[in-house]
Amino acid sequence: MKIGIIGSGTWGCALGRLLANNNHEVLMYGHDLEEITQLDKNRTHKNLKGMIIPDSIVFTNDISKACIEKDIIVFAVPSIYIRQCVNKGKPYIDKQIIVDVAKGIEADTLYTMSKVILDELDNKDIRVVALSGPTHAEEVALDMPTTIVSACEDINTARIIQDVFMNDYMRVYTNDDVLGVELCGALKNIIALAAGISSGLGFGDNAKAAIITRGMVEISRLGIAMSAKKQTFSGLAGIGDLIVTCTSLHSRNNRCGMYLGQGYSVSDAIEKVGMVVEGLNALPAAIKLKDKYNVEMPIISMVNEIVNNNVDPKDAVMQLMHRDKKEENL
């Protein structure tokens, strides 16, 4: 197939390489002309050690070329730029299948990324697939075994994307619960911040296991209140993605949380990570959704207190430990 990738970051490049190796025709768009010129020339990405970008991948600074006459368009930019990029590509989008790999919730509208895309495209007859799961770009770039979920309300479209991305080291599952898959992808980043904060404070594996387990309770609690399917949260897009994001040093959110736990300010922690920290972007929407659906989300609330209300991380954790016991059997 002819595939355009919007975004030339780590995930976009790792997926571009995978798709090119699957014998698809790949054209990659980046807004930074200097960056894509270097990618084209060197065939490497500074944050993907050991990966060589196939010569067959074409780079461009013209978004129209990544959209026109393509079968599939992959949006691989941070969640806060999805609406902007879709708007820029809108004149050239017609019947292509749209694949979103960004994980987030828009703060103002409370839309997940697929809804943002459909909203920006005026909800015309466009098929949008959310591709999400426990997938660090650093490992996909080196052909390490990985699994991911192709989610679309039209399961036949999800299966098309399954076939396009699947190979010997990437196994793709399908799901029609788009909302559940996207909520997991966005909210697990906030729980990973909490796991990192715990590590930064010097706490051990017991605390991390509790954060992961109770974090999934919070995510599923909200998701079910929003009519997502319960089983989604126990699958790859749910507990699978949560585990890898809370435990891996590849995780920007985990590392950012560690710096916060060590006493760094939010801005300094972001600077030390050196890349977008999606959990921070998802936090405002998560708090609004918690209030809107009247669900208890104490871990996510704790992260919000640390990030936005300057509460000392250790004090925030102690407050969490001494909460009302009404949930002790959940």
Catalytic residue set: 188
SS3 for 5?
Answer: strand
Bridge partners of residue 136, in order along the sequence: none
Angle 101-106-110 from CA coordinates, rounded to 5°: 120
As given in the structure block, the two tokens for residue 2 are: 């002819």
E strand spans, the chain:
2-6, 25-29, 58-60, 72-75, 97-100, 128-132, 146-151, 170-175
Distance CA 127, CA 266 (A): 37
Sheet of strand 2-6, all strands in order from the earlier edge strand to the far edge: 58-60, 25-29, 2-6, 72-75, 97-100, 128-132, 146-151, 170-175
Distance CA 131, CA 210 (A): 27
Distance CA 10, CA 4 (A): 16
